[in-house]
Every structure is written in structure tokens, then in C-alpha cells.
Amino acid sequence: MATDVIIIGAKGRMGATLAGLANADDDLNLKAVCERPGNCDGLETYGCMCGDDLNALLPDCPGAAIVDFTSPEASVSTAKIAAGHGNPLVIGTTGLNKEQVAELEGLAKQSPIFWAPNMSVGVNVLLKLMPMLVEALGPDYDMEISEIHHKMKKDAPSGTALKLAQCLAEARGWIYDDVKCHCRDGIIGERPQNELGVQTLRGGDVVGDHTMYFFGPGERIEVTHRAHSRETFASGALRAAKWLAAQKPGKLYAMADIF
């Protein structure tokens, strides 16, 4: 039986990709698309319900999985509406602060909510493998991360870079906020041993590049993930939507729960 899905922000770059893939997937039924007020022209071409008021759409979409890749504030608002109606919600938005994540955790007790800063299968496999590499290399290897995204991206560092950095820090036994370095400028002195740098580049139409560096005595290791298309993230989110539709409320789900 096909899973009903609702795409939020269907006229945006990611929203349009999600809606197109959902329409082409036999295991999904694009039940509705939603946009902000005044931006709904053309949504009827998707051949499903459309509008600018999610509250008004949901009574006709019981159980439909909502997918939101908009903005932190908008995604939290979507989560409140979804929780009120009991609809499952997949969030791929990055840039959420600690308070917003905590709010999602609370709402996840009312309806199933899934949040991942990166929906790529490859990135989430790396998150499982990197702790083994950190442990095997030991403390003599300095760890750094660089990330590149298109010039329209609003948050920095990327949510994926932060997730990877937190993963490396935890594997080393560090608290990330105590060792992070997001910018270097001026006469900064020698690099401390207990430091993890995350550097940001922006330009052009780069979908997403992330490289983790391990600098050791006489050698270095580089592990790079490059996303060639937004479909990488959209496919992962729709896979999560199919899975989440069968889950119960209780916790804020993540990619690790699917693998």
C-alpha cells in the first residue's frame, strides 16, 4: 500500500525535487503540497491537493507523512501542526538551535517526528564508521573538517559538518562545544591538541562537499563525501517518510533508527 505524503515548500529547490520524486515513486502517493501564503501559483500542476494552510489540509490527509525542508522556524511550526493532527513528520532542515531541537523532542511524544541534518545514506554510513577510524588512529592525529555549499545556503557551518564534527569529538571523548574552532584569523599561535576545526566555503551551485582530515606524523588521511544532486537528500527523506509512517510517537527519530 502506497504511503501518502505531503510536501512543504513545494516550489523551493528541495521541495520541488521531493514532489517530483514522490510523484514518480509507486510506493508513494503525493497527497498534497503546501506553500507559504501568496506563493501557491502553479501548485495545481502536481495533480493533488494544494494550499497555503497546513491546518486546513490535514483533516483530509489522515496519516499522511509530511516532509519539510524549509527553515528552522517554519519546520518547528509545521511540527506543532503535525503533532496536533497526529501526522508523522520528516524534517531535513538544518540550522536548528538547541531550543528548537528540544521542542521537536517534546512534540515527538505526540506524533512520530524524524529529523536528520543530512538525509544521504552515504553520510549516515560515515557517521557509523568514523568512530572506528578515530579510535584506531589515536590521539596523535589532529582532526579537521571542511565543507563547501552553494552561495544561497543560509547557515554555516552546515548541519552535516556539525553532525560529523560532533561524531568525531564524541569518539575522542571530547565535548564538541569545548573544542570547536569555526574560524581562524590573525596571530592565533600553535594549534591546541584538543581542537577540532570546521571551516566553511560558499560559492556557485555546489550541492554539498564534506571532507574530514586526520593529520598524523608523516601522513594524513582524507575522507570526502560529495553530493552530486539534491535527489540524494530527497530520496533519503522519502525513504524516511515510508519508514516513519509505520512508527509510533515517543522519540525524535534519526537515520540511525532506520539502518
Q: Name the residues annotated as catalytic.
A: 149, 153
How many CB atoms lie under 10 A from the CB of residue 125? 13
Instruction: Please choose, from the candidates 100, 123, 131, the residue with its C-alpha nearest in 3D space to the C-alpha of residue 113.
Output: 100
Angle subtended at Cα 253 by Cα 175 and Cα 85, rounded to the nearest 5 degrees? 130
Residue 77 CA to residue 75 CA, distance in Å, equals 5
Q: Dihedral sign, CA of 116, 120, 121, 125?
A: negative
Determine the residue type at 157: P
What residue has cell string 557517521?
127
